[in-house]
Amino acid sequence: MGLFNRKHSKPSLEGDNDPTIPNATRDQTSSSKLPPLSRTMNGAAAFPGLVKLPDIALPKPPDPSLDPAAYLRSIHAVRERSKLVLQRAKKNRLTHFDVDLSKFKDTAGYVCSIIKRDYAPDYKSVPPHGRWQHFDVGGRPRIDQLLASWPSQIDAQERTRRLIDLFLVSVLLDAGAGSAWSYKSKESGRIYRRSEGLAVASLEMFKAGLFSSDRTEPCQVDGAGLKRLNVEHLAKGLQVSGSNPIAGLEGRTGLLMSLADALNNQDLFGVDARPGNMLDYLLSHPSTQASSVPIVPLPTLWSVLIDGLSSIWPATRTQIDGISLGDAWPCSSMPHSPPAESWENIVPFHKLTQWLCYSLMAPMTKLLHIHFAGAELLTGLPEYRNGGLLIDTGLLTLKEAESKRGLEAYRRNAMVEGQPNVEVVPLFNASDDVIVEWRAVTVGFLDELLGEVNRMLGLKSKADALTLAQMLEAGTWKGGRELAEVSRPNTKEPPIMIHSDGTIF
């Protein structure tokens, strides 16, 4: 038996006295009152004045010699496999990139300058990387306003379910939008682009009930509502047109339509097939423990997402024994078979699953004070902002032969109507070995940067040091974007473009 009971079919109408304070204690999952949250340090909350949370034994990763597919789908494998590519990078033995380690401290120094500019001296105020901040673009607290708009009878658990509904759909839509797309908010009239534009668009579609089958409750996502979606519906919601194209529209639509079928797993998503019902699964799971707060092992959340959503990823992805591995790819910088086993040349990333983890932990932590044990297992996100930072600071340089190949691909693509044709940069498909190696070395160098950034900031103790999630939010992702804006001001694209299908980046 788990610690908490699963929800009833209807949200509780008791226990919520102040809907304008999103992290007030309104839930009924604990008999004790909880203090207000301080800033999070690793996606989990800190609770001043409470005893230290107990250490939780985390499950070990599957044995790759017995079940390589399960291992490569585990969160542990992302860091472990990427380290092999990092080791080659430190010896300047990558297949597609030259590595100048003399630029490592310059890269770390640039990241520090961004963090100091925006947060010094209060580094503890840096939030962990997640979707929540994208919704608040322009300084408008849209999620707090959304919470305040709901009736006071809606308790904290149902509020959290609704935010999980919203955040999951928004993350799945958050592949690279391209430089040509923008979104004009129906509420403010302001224009937003890229990740923030997709966040605002998904929020306004959510509030309009596009993802709900219940006309009396638009602010939810359910399988029946998603089944009604098609490309035309999503194009209208995202304001896509011939003059406002978005990359990977069909891929994004396909993910949401596939999500409708995945939500039929009643054990994870309940009888009404809502993403938010994973909250009840997590709270009632045997691995969840009670201390001052509910403690959920990160691998339990990971299993819900990697297994519960496995059917939504394109079937053409890398497979072992007929099992799709999702965002995992063969890489020439990995051990070769023979003599290595056939699975050993594959490096997994699971970028969108990790982005979901980072993003979904936030509402569960802020509204219900859930602590996620083992959040440090998550890695830096292998995407083009973090990876672009390494190239734009000179740490990585694409080798000449690959650069020529990528530039030729860009020129061919530029002949297609609506595709970018200024500020020429190399272009590759997401499955290209250049991109796979770039992503793997990005994961490795982000771990290395964390230690150097904390040293440069003088944050020596574990209590003071930034977590990886904080450095991603305040430093590398933001820094990569700002360097792209300066280096390529017309398109603001990364130094290498990826031909996106809307299901990876």
Residue 166 phi/psi, 5-degree rounding, is -65, -50
**pLDDT attached to residue 20:** 33
Rounded to an integer, the average pLDDT of 457-474 is 96
**pLDDT attached to residue 322:** 87
**pLDDT attached to residue 504:** 66
Residue 22 has pLDDT above 90, yes or no: no
How far apart are the C-alpha atoms of 258 and 131, rounded to whole Å? 22
**pLDDT attached to residue 502:** 62
Q: Would you tell me the crossing angle of helices 104-119 and 384-392 to the nearest 10 degrees? A: 120
Please measure the distance between the N-terminal and C-terminal CA atoms of the chain and give it in whole angstroms: 38
Share of the chain above pLDDT 90, in %: 75
Q: Worst-scoring range by mean pLDDT, 238-242, 250-254, 295-299? A: 250-254
Residue 17 has pLDDT above 50, yes or no: no
Per-residue pLDDT of 481-490, as tens digits, reads 999 999 999 8
Cβ neighbours of residue 340 closer than 8 Å, sequence gap 6 or more: none
Token pair in block for residue 321:
């024994």
How far apart are the C-alpha atoms of 188 and 184, rounded to whole Å? 8
**pLDDT attached to residue 500:** 72
How far apart are the C-alpha atoms of 475 and 463, rounded to whole Å? 19
Per-residue pLDDT of 205-227, as tens digits, reads 999 999 999 999 999 999 999 99
Token pair in block for residue 147:
């919470």
Under a CB-based contact definition with an 8 Å cutoff, are residues 405 and 426 in contact? yes
How far apart are the C-alpha atoms of 61 and 310, rounded to whole Å? 18
**pLDDT attached to residue 236:** 97
Per-residue pLDDT of 89-124, as tens digits, reads 999 999 999 999 999 999 999 999 999 999 999 999
> What DSSP letter does each residue of 294-321 carry, written as one string?
EEEEHHHHHHHHHHHTGGGS-TTS-EET
- The confidence band for 434, taking pLDDT boundaries of 50, 70 and 90, is very high
How far apart are the C-alpha atoms of 294 and 81, rounded to whole Å? 32
**pLDDT attached to residue 44:** 39
**pLDDT attached to residue 503:** 66
Cβ neighbours of residue 478 closer than 8 Å, sequence gap 6 or more: 114, 118
Residue 11 has pLDDT above 70, yes or no: no
**pLDDT attached to residue 178:** 78
By residue count, the chain amounts to 505
Residue 324 has pLDDT above 50, yes or no: yes
Rounded to an integer, the average pLDDT of 340-356 is 93
- The confidence band for 55, taking pLDDT boundaries of 50, 70 and 90, is confident
- The confidence band for 415, taking pLDDT boundaries of 50, 70 and 90, is confident
**pLDDT attached to residue 78:** 98
Q: Worst-scoring range by mean pLDDT, 17-21, 158-162, 448-452? A: 17-21
Residue 328 phi/psi, 5-degree rounding, is -145, 140
Per-residue pLDDT of 279-314, as tens digits, reads 999 999 999 998 789 999 999 999 999 999 998 887
**pLDDT attached to residue 505:** 53
Share of the chain above pLDDT 70, in %: 89
Per-residue pLDDT of 136-158, as tens digits, reads 999 999 999 999 999 999 999 99
**pLDDT attached to residue 436:** 97
Buried/exposed 235-270: b ≥16 CB within 10 Å, e otherwise: bebbebeeeebbbbbeebbbbbbbbbebbebeebbb
**pLDDT attached to residue 40:** 39
Residue 76 has pLDDT above 60, yes or no: yes
Let me know if 209 is exposed, middle or buried by CB neighbors in 10 A (0-12, 13-18, 19+): middle
Cβ neighbours of residue 360 closer than 8 Å, sequence gap 6 or more: 164, 167, 168, 301, 305
Q: Is the dihedral of CA 198, 203, 204, 209 positive or negative?
A: positive
Residue 452 has pLDDT above 80, yes or no: yes
**pLDDT attached to residue 36:** 37
Mean of the per-residue pLDDT values of the chain: 88
Rounded to an integer, the average pLDDT of 340-344 is 90
Neighbours of 9 (CB within 10 A): 7
Residue 186 has pLDDT above 70, yes or no: yes
3-state DSSP helix/strand/coil percent for the chain, to nearest 5?
Answer: 45, 5, 45
Whether the model clears a pTM of 0.95, i.e. scores above it, the answer is: no
Rounded to an integer, the average pLDDT of 341-362 is 95
